[in-house]
Amino acid sequence: MSGGVILAVESSCDETGVALIADGRRILASVVASQVALHAASGGIVPEVAARAHLRWIVPTLEAAWAESGVGWPDVSAVAVTAGPGLAGSLLVGINFAKALAYVRGRPLVGVNHLEGHLLAAWLADPADPDRPEPPLPALALIVSGGHTFLSLTRSPTDHTLLGGTVDDAAGEAFDKVGRMLGLSYPGGPAIAEAAGAAVRHDARFPRAWLGGTDDFSFSGLKTAARRMIAGARAEAGIPPDDQVTPLPPAIVAELAWGFQESVVDVLATKVIRAAEREGAASIVLGGGVAANRALRARVSGEAAARGIPCVIPAPDLCTDNGAMIGAAGARRLARGDRAGLDLDARPTWPLGTP
Ligand code: KG4
Ligand code: ZN
């Protein structure tokens, strides 16, 4: 791995992230400017609004990262930036910013796949446990975010084989849509997790789509079931069908949120453990925003421990979008000689494991 400090930039979706990473592992600074409040009013991301917010916040985010890191340009050996997948307008803000920095400061530039970034967040040192070793290889990785859900057999930090993925919605997308149906705040993932914590009966039973023994996932049936169950609960609570305003009582929202979360966690955990055993993986790795979910973390780490498989799940703020993970992936790409020119372009679609 190349030594020195990497300046890493992430702007693929709705978080502006800038980080300074030493030796591909140690986080000197990782600053994220979140657009959650901005998109809450519309209940989702408006691409034009997201791109403009990146433009507004990228320089202050870099300045905050410099201040936090205690290092400066003389220490920085390269610039890494997310090149895709993501929203084209958002990606271009980070890419052009990184290009300008690399050009003016005469540093090499590398374009990073955002999904490889999520995966390699598990290779960052954990500030709470700095001596935790890197995940043993091959690793079975489950990446679950707002836009992606897949299993990868990762033989090295730059060698990933996709085993399966979602055939419809991503897990985070299902959380966000069902959160909206339940009248919870945006984004739905953390809101559902919080509501589920207040459940007491734990008897709401949602379906699971196993898709046979495959490594694929499907969440659209679960979403439809959620819509039906929420409508049923509203009718039972005496709310007329044409009343879109009256909210469900919080105790009922809690049970439904718990049942939905339980279904998603059950499918994700079962499939990652089964794939890890089948492939003889030396470790299990989780990444992406949904990996911030406490129920998922507890279930996968418990089942992995019971089988003696080391399991690495980054701290919650390294599971959601951030610049540090782009630094981790960028360091390993630079080490194998990857370089981007000033013609680096956004790749809105870029499956993991493709060059
Ligand atoms: O990785 P990420 O920050 O952005 C993408 O690359 O998509 O993931 C965002 C997704 C959102 O769908 C959000 O609802 C979900 O991650 N999420 C969670 C939790 N925190 C974020 N889902 C379930 N439980 C959470 N605690
Ligand atoms: Zn992401």
Q: What is the CATH number of the domain that holds 41?
A: 3.30.420.40
Residue nearest to atom 22 of ligand 1 (CA): 189
Region for residue 288 given its phi and psi (left: phi exceeds 0; alpha: psi -120 to 50; beta: otherwise): left
Distances from the Cα of 212 to the Cα of 152, 193, 208, 281, 285, angstroms = 18, 28, 11, 21, 23
In this structure, the answer to whether residues 198 and 243 fall within a common structural domain is: yes
In this structure, the answer to whether residues 70 and 177 fall within a common structural domain is: no
Q: Does any ligand 1 atom lie closer than 6 A to the CB of residue 172?
A: yes
- Per-residue DSSP letter, 41: T
- Span 148-201, pLDDT tens digits: 999 999 999 999 999 999 999 999 999 999 999 999 999 999 999 999 999 999
Flag whether pLDDT at 91 surpasses 90.
Answer: yes
Whether 238 maps to a domain, the answer reads yes
In this structure, the answer to whether residues 321 and 289 fall within a common structural domain is: no
Whether 220 maps to a domain, the answer reads yes
Q: Compute the average pLDDT of residues 100-104.
A: 98
Q: Compute the average pLDDT of residues 226-245.
A: 95
Identify the helix (H) or strand (E) that includes residue 15. Answer: strand 15-22
User: In 3-state terms, what secondary structure has residue 217?
Assistant: strand
Mean pLDDT of the chain: 96
Whether 331 maps to a domain, the answer reads yes
Query: Can you give the pLDDT at residue 1?
Result: 57
Structural domain of 63: 5-126+317-335
In this structure, the answer to whether residues 291 and 151 fall within a common structural domain is: yes
Q: Compute the average pLDDT of residues 129-150.
A: 95
- Centroid of ligand 2 to alpha carbon of 252 (angstroms): 31
In this structure, the answer to whether residues 186 and 99 fall within a common structural domain is: no
**What is the Rg, in whole angstroms, of the alpha carbon atoms belonging to the chain?**
21
Flag whether pLDDT at 63 surpasses 90.
Answer: yes
Whether 54 maps to a domain, the answer reads yes
Flag whether pLDDT at 3 surpasses 80.
Answer: no
Q: Compute the average pLDDT of residues 43-69.
A: 94
In this structure, the answer to whether residues 281 and 327 fall within a common structural domain is: no
How does residue 38 score in pLDDT terms, banded at 50, 70 and 90? confident
Whether 59 maps to a domain, the answer reads yes
Q: Does any ligand 1 atom lie closer than 6 A to the CB of residue 190?
A: yes
Q: Lowest-confidence range among 36-50, 96-110, 330-344?
A: 36-50
In this structure, the answer to whether residues 155 and 299 fall within a common structural domain is: yes
User: Buried b vs exposed e over 291-320: b needs ≥16 C-beta within 10 Å?
Assistant: bbbebbbebbbebbeeeebbbbbbeeebbb
**Higher-pLDDT residue of 2, 132:** 132
Q: Compute the average pLDDT of residues 221-235.
A: 97
Flag whether pLDDT at 223 surpasses 60.
Answer: yes
Q: Does any ligand 1 atom lie closer than 6 A to the CB of residue 175?
A: yes
Q: How many residues does the chain have?
A: 355
Show the beta-strand stretches assigned E in 72-220.
76-84, 109-113, 139-144, 149-156, 159-165
User: In 3-state terms, what secondary structure has residue 75?
Assistant: helix
In this structure, the answer to whether residues 161 and 257 fall within a common structural domain is: yes
Q: Does any ligand 1 atom lie closer than 6 A to the CB of residue 293?
A: yes
Residue nearest to atom 10 of ligand 1 (CA): 146
Percent helix / strand / coil, the chain, rounded to 5: 45, 20, 35
In this structure, the answer to whether residues 57 and 206 fall within a common structural domain is: no
In this structure, the answer to whether residues 296 and 321 fall within a common structural domain is: no
The total number of structural domains that make up the chain: 2
Distance CA 301, CA 42 (A): 35
User: In 3-state terms, what secondary structure has residue 10?
Assistant: strand
Whether 119 maps to a domain, the answer reads yes
Q: Does any ligand 1 atom lie closer than 6 A to the CB of residue 90?
A: no
In this structure, the answer to whether residues 20 and 112 fall within a common structural domain is: yes
- Centroid of ligand 1 to alpha carbon of 186 (angstroms): 11
Whether 347 maps to a domain, the answer reads no
User: In 3-state terms, what secondary structure has residue 211?
Assistant: coil
Whether 353 maps to a domain, the answer reads no
Give the position, in ligand 1's atom list, of the atom nearest the Cα of 288.
Answer: 1
In this structure, the answer to whether residues 155 and 96 fall within a common structural domain is: no
Flag whether pLDDT at 85 surpasses 90.
Answer: yes
